Structure 1
Amino acid sequence: MGRIDLILCVIFSLCLPAGQILFKMAARHGQANGGFSILDVVRNPLLIAAFAFYGATAVLWYRILTVLPLSRAYIFSLVGSALVPAAGYVIFGEKMTLQYIIGASFIIIGFFIAFRA
């Protein structure tokens, strides 16, 4: 894996929690401004931004998969998934349990083991 590919994979890993943060912000905005009708959804600028961001992230993922095997690239998505609840804790004050911290630690350790393989 070249340096550029590694950088793109790290960016992808960080895009996953960033996108989830946007979706959570959009959900809060929607909840505060009326709920979940179709009209509310299309008027929610944060939701539109979240969809656009995920679209750009999908293009990045496509680029990554043009040069790396899925088995090699996918481990980066695991890191991103492990970071989502941590971002919820830091940004939204959501509860963080010891079980989650232990589980996420195993994911991160597993990432480094798989990455070195």
Structure 2
Amino acid sequence: MRDPYTVLGVPRSASEKDIKSAYRKLAKKYHPDQNPDDPSAHGKFAEATNAYDLLNDADKRGQFDRGEIDAEGNPKFAGFNPGGFSGASRGGRPGAGAGAGGFSAEDILKEFMSGFGGQPRGGMGGRGPA
């Protein structure tokens, strides 16, 4: 979804009253019952409703404004730069760029996988103490 403020046509500083007023205008304009011959009206109505639902909830609006959630209300990963994996190059291999904290996906996988197949756990190959 697009930025909910853009969808409703209000500034980020808009009051609850301004947000509600903007939503009501769009809801009336794009309601499917008012536009039976316009197939795009349903999508515009749904987009306006989703934007209003996010901005009308004070907690969700605060989280969105702080960048904690996206326009759909899904949490964003703190410190994760999705562009860091595709744009950068390390060691001459594309896609091996470092993300947040200087770690690449390859580094993380190597660290995780180093515990498998390396040294046997439990000492004597599964035999109990003598």
- Provide the TM-score with structure 1 as the length reference: 0.27
Asked which structure has the greater RCO (Cα within 8 Å, sep 6+), the reply is 1
- Provide the TM-score with structure 2 as the length reference: 0.25
Larger-Rg structure: 2
